[in-house]
Chain A
Amino acid sequence: MKKLFKLFLDMLYISSFTFGGGFVIVSIMKKKFVDEEKLITEEEMIDFTAIAQSSPGAIAVNAAILVGRRCAGWPGMAVAVVGTVIPPIVIISVISFFYKVFASNTYVALTLKGMGAGVAAVVLDVACSLLFAEVKGRNVIHIILTVCAFAATYFFGINVIIIIFAAALVGILTNVLKKKGGA
């Protein structure tokens, strides 16, 4: 019971203050559930990111389903999802009455601008730790894949889903080749 309540509060807290797209909330979940609370492994969290990203629906909700289910089964999934959607429901419900004032307020804009720099720092910090771990692994195919995925989205603007499917294909190919080599 205590575990569920903690999970609910963690999700509520993360969801309340996470601005920006899916990769931001996934980075924060990694810091919270992998680095801080050690409830899930880094490998699982990266797999969850791939699953959340390539499934239909909001990435934050998808990630909450996976993390919640992993930490505390079906009840965990339920509280994690509820915790994730309460903040946006409450905030948008309240703001829907005066959103014009909110959207044109200079102080709000300045705060959000500064926050943008902080959000970039959070995602890049997570990216750096993952990159270091990968370089340590010394798997050449993986390093090439990382560089290609980065370039495909950053320089060529290719859809993330297509990139994920292409990487899955590479995985299938390496498996087939490994089996042939072993046989």
Chain B
Amino acid sequence: MLYLQLFLAFLKVGLFSIGGGYAAIPIIASGVVEGYGWITEAEFADLMTVAEMTPGPIAVNSATFVGMRLLGVPGALVATAGCILPSCIIVSVLFWAYYKYKGLSFLNSVLSALRACVVGLIAAAGLKLLVTALYVGSGSEKTLDPVQLFIFLTAFIALYSKKVNPIPVMLLSGFLGLFIHILIP
């Protein structure tokens, strides 16, 4: 029975979180933490920290963590399945509609407006990530970290002019950060 509850709880997360991770957090908090009490508030806070530090969507990370806690690996799989099922159905329908109606002049205008909008959103996301990465410290005492700036510029030049693949660039940026901090304490 717990399997079904777990599945349904994360189905709800998958169905109602529009806009990614930050939309999923309050739904997970109200269902899994306050509703069922499957994990404590403190554990939830830890989970959010770990989810930020590991790859993968926050909803999938949370489903795995809670499922694992309650029922081990099968629990993790059931919770994750619940979490992604609504996406699989809804996005498949949208995929079908996209290719069927893409040629219509009406939808064409909408899509070209959306494309322009998405370009702005990606630029804003990139700039936000940059500010977070470069300015370290807390509150009003944030300062520009020259090491981070150096890593960013190196990575950007490698990507932009040398066309290096993004994943090696990200991993090397991490190691570069670690080495520089060890060398210059």
Contact = CB atoms under 8 A, between A and B. Distances in A.
Contact of A127 (B123, B152, B177): B123
Interface string A91-135: 111011001101100011011111111111111111110110010
Interface bin, chain B: 35 or more
B100 interface: no
Q: Is the interface of A mostly helix, strand, loop or mixed?
A: helix
Contacts of A142: 112-113, 115-116
A112 B49 CA distance: 12
Nearest to A108: B53
Given A21-B21, A126-B122, A115 B87 contact: no
A91 B54 contact: yes
B20 A159 contact: no
B29 interface: no
A48 B123 CA distance: 17
Contacts of B152: 117-118, 120-121
A39 interface: no
Interface stretch (B1-9, B30-38, B126-134): B126-134
A13 B171 CA distance: 12
A102 B61 CA distance: 15
Contact of A47 (B111, B160, B177): B111
| Listed residue (A61, A66, A128, A174) with the most chain B CB atoms within 10 angstroms of its CB | A61
B69 interface: yes
A65 B91 CA distance: 7
B68 A46 contact: no
B83 to A, nearest CB: 7
| Listed residue (B55, B108, B159) with the most chain A CB atoms within 10 angstroms of its CB | B55
Contact of A123 (B14, B73, B125, B180): B125
Nearest to A122: B166
A178 B114 CA distance: 17
A130 B16 contact: no
Contacts of A9: none
Nearest to B88: A65
Interface string B122-163: 111111111011101000000000011101100110111000
Contact of B160 (A91, A115, A128): A128
Contacts of A26: 122
Given A47-B114, A145-B113, A145-B120, A59 B20 contact: yes
B119 A115 contact: no
A122 B55 contact: no
Contacts of A14: 167
Interface of B: 14-22, 24, 46-47, 49-51, 53-61, 64-65, 68-69, 73, 76-77, 80, 83-84, 86-88, 90-92, 94-95, 98, 105-106, 108-130, 132-134, 136, 147-149, 151-152, 155-156, 158-160, 165-167, 169-178, 180-181
Given A23-B122, A28-B167, 17 more contacts: A17-B167, A51-B95, A54-B19, A56-B15, A58-B24, A92-B50, A99-B50, A111-B174, A111-B175, A114-B176, A117-B148, A125-B166, A130-B119, A130-B122, A164-B118, A164-B121, A178-B109
